[in-house]
Amino acid sequence: MAKKKNEAIRVDFNNVTAAAVGKKDGISPAEIKAFEKRAAACHKKCVAERKSGEIGFYDLPYQKALVNDIKGTVRELKDRFENFVVLGIGGSALGNIALQAALNHPFYNLLDRKERRGYPRIFVMDNVDPAYFAGLLDVIDPKKTLFNLISKSGGTAEPMSQYMVVREILRRKLGKKAPGHIIATTDREKGLLREIVGREGFESFVIPDNVGGRFSVMTPVGLLSAAMGGIDIEELLAGAAAMDKRCSRPDLKKNPAYLNAVVHYIADTKKGKVMSVMMPYSNALYLVADWYRQLWAESLGKKCDVRGKVVHAGQTPVKALGATDQHSQMQLYTEGPNDKIFTLVAVRKFPREVKIPKTYKKYDALEYLGGKTMNMLIEAERIGSTLALTAARRPNLTVTLPEITPHAVGQMLQMYEIQTAFAGKLYGINPFDQPGVEAGKIAAFTLMGRKGYAKKRRGVLSRIKKNARYIL
């Protein structure tokens, strides 16, 4: 039987145009054309960073040796464990969560082992909420669990604190066998976690030096848990490679990532659309919007440009779910402040079809649903939203996946990573650092008594003091 041909995802920009939503809120062909030379210059910079090896995410789809290593590890270990638990946060968790939600059964962990095709249950612990973490320990048997500790440096407080708890439990219950229940994903040579790996004897995978956390879903950070959940990582990377080739030239008429970056940049800086709403009409893709939020916010939200000038750049990403949020947010979206650009995510063919029975024929409010499908209903809801937003002069575009497959999801993730890197060039900022998160880390380290931070303690404590008059 011939292998099914994978289709490209499509991006429909019709409803961001001035013709659709007016000159004040929409973008004209002339405004796009004015960016052609600038786009070519930005493309040249992106290519140079890629060729020099400075920025590595572009080449992640082409990792045959790594794929073989991961698949070999999964074959060796999956039958030995009932649970696979990721210990990570931010870029070490959101991609993992997005892949599991998109590409596995919506209630995957509730299926029995046979229905999971022999793969373990997957948990991603992306916070240090004590009740949440203790709750996980209530429902898993550590003796039947493989933990994947992810931290490039080994100094990230959240996953390392989780690890310290898990290590103690494993040592108490398993003794010398404990190291066989932990796989680390970290830097190749440096960092505290690499040192711990050598001392404890953990198996490990490498996070490339030139790939930051929010761009790391196609590294072992995301691929190991995906493969351990039975997801076809070869197809995921093939989809990413297809998008990489599609976005290899600066022609805005043919490059969806670049055009989307330009559209969002113009919307933000020229049209007052300071928020970017991603609204998938699919529960499976809802958590891709979480992944996008970190990618877009942490990459582009910068105080200074590359020259050191204060610019306070960035567009606030918001996630919504269709059709759910038509009943919670759409009122604001259509009649509230016109300060948003919307991306609706459509699925042409869902993996399942649910038919609505022909009952209640006497009630006009219900009769019309009979004989239709939920598939038809959610698509009608999505189209209705595009019409409502457009009528209210709210610029909106639609990303359509032919199906929710590893190939299609790989395309989508790669497109948004390329779009984000390119948008960084448009804004003139560095999309690969995150200086704004350091102040919070330093305060937390100080409050927790980390060595080397004692001198900062008085300053931190003085800033914590509150005026009782303003506390009710």
Residue 319 bridge partners (DSSP): 278
d(CA 152, CA 184): 10
The structure tokens 């459509």 sit at 346
CA triple 344-349-354, angle to 5 deg: 105
**Residue type (1 letter), 375:** N
**φ and ψ at 204, to 5 degrees?**
-150, 155
Q: How many helices (DSSP H) and strands (DSSP E) are in the chain?
A: 18, 12
Q: Are 85 and 140 in contact (CB under 8 A)?
A: yes
**φ and ψ at 152, to 5 degrees?**
-65, -40
Strand order of the β-sheet with 182-186 is: 121-125, 83-87, 145-150, 182-186, 203-206
Estimate to the nearest angstrom the gap between the alpha carbon of 427 and the chain centroid: 21
d(CA 404, CA 346): 10
Q: Which of 45, 143, 349, 441 is catalytic?
A: 441
Note if 298 is an active site residue: yes
Q: Which of 3, 5, 327, 451 is catalytic?
A: 327
User: Residue 349: in which H helix or E strand, if any?
Assistant: strand 340-349
Q: Are 228 and 42 in contact (CB under 8 A)?
A: no
d(CA 204, CA 73): 10
Q: How far is CA 124 from CA 99, 136, 214, 240, 386, in A?
A: 11, 10, 16, 23, 34
- Please write down the HEC assignment for all residues of 97-165: HHHHHHHCCCCHHHCCCCCCCCCCEEEEECCCCHHHHHHHHHHCCHHHEEEEEECCCCCCHHHHHHHHH
Q: How far is CA 189 from CA 185, 192, 198, 432, in A?
A: 12, 10, 10, 21
d(CA 275, CA 336): 13
Query: CB burial class (10 A; 0-12, 13-18, 19+) of residue 140?
Result: middle
**φ and ψ at 429, to 5 degrees?**
-115, 170
91: alpha, beta or left? (left if phi > 0; alpha if psi -120 to 50): alpha
Q: Are 38 and 425 in contact (CB under 8 A)?
A: no
CA triple 309-256-411, angle to 5 deg: 110
Q: Which of 298, 302, 379, 417 is catalytic?
A: 298
Residues involved in catalysis: 298, 327, 441
